[in-house]
Amino acid sequence: MARNPSVKGPMHSRVRFVLVEAEGDIGQVTQAIQNAFRSPVAAQPKRIGSPKSAINSTIEDQQSEFDFEEEVEDEGDEANVVEARSSAKPRVARKPPSTPDILPIDMKTEVSLSSFAQGKDTKSQHKKYLIAAAWLKEHRDIGGVTAGHIYTCFRSMEWSTNIQDFWQPLRELKARKFFARNERNEYEINHIGLDYVDKLGGSNGAG
């Protein structure tokens, strides 16, 4: 019986000898008996890496694979973007609004627009819009105006008509609360706008 190397001190073993009959070299038989009494050599345990190192190794392998896949995917995305840009339809230029029509408005009878605007500050398009709308309301009984009304006034006064969209200043003045929209979807100057026109100077054609 093998001796346990973990136990200190002498250890007694009980051995039972059985006499057997054997033929052959006595030296081989003796050697076999001696080998039976020798302590077996403890097998060296296989060294296993710590769980932490194994997990780190697995994570590193997965990370390397992920990075590669991500890089390939980015290249594919870039190729798709280039292909989409090349196949995209060219942007169609927006057609500018048409020039408004001239409307039949009496521009000569007093108080005319020229006399109403005399002495007023007309340095901006918005001020000219307000002056024209105030004159139309107070002296031509036209409350709601359109781009055509304003365009006719500009042409009569020989003000510059280099305006891409004659509706745009009306929308901007409405946003600033100088105009309101009526039931006919026209722009009508309110009392705030009329007060502002009075502050632009002149006598509004009186005297």
| Per-residue pLDDT reduced to its tens digit, 95-132 | 677 899 999 999 999 999 999 999 999 999 999 999 99
CA dist 193 and 179 (Å) reads 7
CA nearest neighbour of 194 among 123, 125, 114, 139: 139
User: Is 165 within 8 Å of 97 (Cβ atoms)?
Assistant: yes
Domains of the chain, CATH where assigned = 113-198 (1.10.10.10)
pLDDT computed for residue 68 by the predictor: 31
Most distant CA pair in the chain: distance in Å?
A: 157
Q: Cis before residue 111, ω within 30 degrees of 0?
A: yes
Rounded to 5°, the CA angle 44-49-51 comes to 135
pLDDT computed for residue 112 by the predictor: 97
pLDDT computed for residue 7 by the predictor: 46
Residues 40-77, buried b or exposed e (16+ Cβ, 10 A)?
eeeeeeeeeeeeeeeeeeeeeeeeeeeeeeeeeeeeee
> In which band, very low, low, confident or very high, does the pLDDT at 78 lie, cut at 50, 70 and 90?
very low
